[in-house]
């Protein structure tokens, strides 16, 4: 051990006598490690965003949404004949949800959802909000947590009772200093009793725009039977009624297709991930028959879309990591070149050490130690620079970056490995010098 320590300190002494050369040699390692750290931070941030998006959308979910009716067929000479051939579709409704739940296998829950724009009023305060009609299973499927109170009961759903569960933002607005449980809040024209409060969910603006979701903290949830009975049931209004009303009130877009869907969304939770795609195919065929071959719905599998996005980001990060790793290879080659030049410059020093009793192993340890110290010091500086680069990238571009301890450990190990791999050849070349010839070298 004393022999190793002695050779190590000789290597340190040699580096301190050539500080500028050691510093310039380590720059390749510095920038290489910093690039790797920054790229891994970007990759970790992207992966974390994907996981958060999966959590927001729920695991093993299939989302069914109504869309504008898709028209297809041959171009006719008479537009009236074409209109007469249009098939009737009842739109997305509760009967669809019931059929999916009863017929399709491997289904855990089916959660219909209808949203109504309304105004919440209490104690002289008001704000526009969304009243969302759901069932009890909706909260579990969507990963909501209760902060206070409880969810709806089966009896309240059956009886269409005017009760509600409010988001954390609604509580802060209308009940800042009191317990809202049992209190009433007016939603539109109807007073509702608050039975529960949801925990706050942190949602970034990027996720709201990218995933097409709402700010759940500002929503008010009521049983879907209450909303359909006491507020709005679009399935009870015919197209002709809406068109006549539009023309009567002078609507500029009276020819637009009205929204005849009873539901705004339906979330189907599947028992296991491997059943998601087959179940989605079965649901598509079922809805096609129930809607009389009218394509006025869209079946979306968030897990598949997010998995594709994750694969794309993973490939992108691998490419960036490979490019960043080139800097490490270049830095290692720089270390080897400088060490080879150093051997040629210090042949006489090597000869003196061999003449006074140093063995080949001692010479190898000395020069390998120099290479490792250069790469290790460059690695430490590179880690600090990489952390700073990650923070700067997040601040400047808004791209989320996460510095993982594993990335730091990997970079630390890589910097040592570069010194060992690229330092061993110059060390062997130095150890092969014959003492007599080395002493004669000028």
168: tokens are: 């954390």
Residues 123 and 207 in one domain: yes
Q: Is residue 192 over pLDDT 90?
A: yes
245: tokens are: 């009303």
Give the best-scoring range by mean pLDDT among 14-18, 77-81, 153-157, 300-304: 153-157
Confidence category of residue 417, pLDDT binned at 50, 70, 90: confident
Residues 10 and 83 in one domain: no
Q: Could you tell me where the beta strands, DSSP code E, fall in 48-106?
A: 61-70
Residues 332 and 383 in one domain: yes
Residues 200 and 167 in one domain: yes
Backbone φ, ψ for residue 243 (5° rounding): -65, -40
Confidence category of residue 166, pLDDT binned at 50, 70, 90: very high
pLDDT at site 120: 93
Q: What is the pLDDT of residues 85-121, one digit of tens each?
A: 567 888 888 999 999 989 898 888 898 999 999 999 9
pLDDT at site 293: 86
Residue 367 CB burial class (10 angstroms; 0-12, 13-18, ≥19): buried
The DSSP output letter for 217 is G
Average pLDDT of the chain is 77
Residues 87 and 150 in one domain: yes
Residues 331 and 423 in one domain: yes
Q: What is the pLDDT of residues 266-293, one digit of tens each?
A: 988 888 878 888 888 999 999 989 888 8
Q: Is residue 255 over pLDDT 50?
A: no
Residues 330 and 228 in one domain: no
Contact by Cβ (8 Å): 63, 267: yes
Q: Which domain holds residue 99?
A: 61-301
Q: What is the pLDDT of residues 202-211, one digit of tens each?
A: 765 555 454 5
Contact by Cβ (8 Å): 234, 227: no
Residues 110 and 237 in one domain: yes
Report how many domains make up the chain.
2
Threshold 0.85, pTM exceeds: no
Q: What is the pLDDT of residues 211-222, one digit of tens each?
A: 555 678 889 999
Final residue before a domain boundary, out of 301, 325, 360: 301
The DSSP output letter for 275 is G
pLDDT at site 402: 80
Average pLDDT in the 366-371 region? 78
Residues 267 and 127 in one domain: yes
Give the C-alpha separation, 341 to 329, whole Å: 18
Final residue before a domain boundary, out of 272, 301, 330: 301
End-to-end CA distance of the chain: give it in Å, rounded. 34
Cα distances from 249 to residues 109, 134, 332, 383, in angstroms, run 42, 32, 77, 67
Final residue before a domain boundary, out of 301, 319, 353: 301
Residues 123 and 267 in one domain: yes
pLDDT at site 119: 92
Q: Is residue 249 over pLDDT 60?
A: no
Q: Is residue 82 over pLDDT 60?
A: no
Q: Please provide the size of the chain in residues.
A: 442
Residues 39 and 136 in one domain: no
Residues 85 and 153 in one domain: yes
């Amino acid at each position: 051990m004393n022999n190793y320590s002695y050779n190590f300190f000789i290597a340190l002494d040699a580096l301190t006598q050539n500080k500028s050369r050691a510093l310039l040699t380590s720059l390749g390692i510095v920038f290489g490690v910093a690039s790797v750290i920054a790229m891994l931070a970007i990759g970790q941030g992207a992966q974390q965003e994907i996981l958060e998006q999966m959590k927001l959308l729920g695991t093993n979910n299939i989302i069914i949404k109504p869309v504008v009716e898709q028209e297809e067929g041959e171009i006719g000479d008479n537009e009236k004949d074409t209109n007469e051939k249009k098939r009737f579709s009842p739109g997305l409704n509760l009967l669809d949800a019931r059929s999916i739940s009863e017929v399709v296998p491997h289904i855990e829950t089916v959660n219909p959802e209808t949203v109504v724009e309304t105004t919440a009023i209490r104690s002289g305060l008001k704000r526009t909000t969304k009243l969302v009609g759901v069932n009890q299973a909706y909260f579990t499927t969507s990963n909501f947590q209760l902060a206070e109170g409880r969810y709806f009961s089966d009896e309240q759903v059956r009886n269409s009772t005017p009760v509600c569960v409010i988001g954390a933002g609604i509580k802060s607005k209308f009940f800042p200093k009191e317990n809202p449980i049992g209190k009433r809040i007016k939603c539109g024209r109807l007073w509702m009793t608050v039975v529960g409060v949801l925990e706050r969910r942190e949602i970034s603006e990027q996720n709201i725009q990218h995933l097409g979701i709402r700010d759940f903290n500002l929503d008010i949830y009521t049983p879907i039977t209450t909303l359909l009975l006491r507020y709005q049931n679009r399935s009870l209004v015919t197209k002709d009624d809406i068109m006549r009303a539009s023309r009567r009130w002078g609507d500029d877009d009276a020819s637009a297709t009205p929204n005849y869907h009873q539901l705004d969304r339906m979330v189907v939770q599947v028992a296991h991930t491997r059943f998601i795609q087959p179940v989605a195919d079965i649901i598509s065929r079922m809805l096609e028959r129930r809607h009389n071959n009218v394509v006025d719905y869209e079946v979306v599998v968030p897990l598949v879309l997010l998995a594709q996005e994750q694969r794309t980001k993973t490939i992108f990060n691998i490419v960036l990591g490979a490019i960043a790793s080139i800097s490490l290879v270049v830095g290692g080659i720089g270390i080897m070149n400088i060490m080879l030049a150093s051997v040629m410059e210090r042949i006489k020093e090597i000869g003196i050490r061999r003449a006074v009793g140093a063995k080949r192993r001692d010479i190898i340890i000395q020069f390998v130690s120099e290479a490792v110290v250069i790469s290790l010091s460059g690695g430490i500086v590179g880690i600090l620079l990489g952390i700073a680069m990650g923070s700067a990238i997040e601040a400047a571009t808004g791209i989320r970056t996460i510095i993982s301890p594993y990335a730091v450990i990997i970079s630390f190990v890589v910097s040592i490995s570069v010194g060992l791999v690229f330092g061993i050849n110059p060390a062997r070349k130095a150890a092969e010098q014959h003492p007599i010839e080395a002493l004669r070298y000028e």
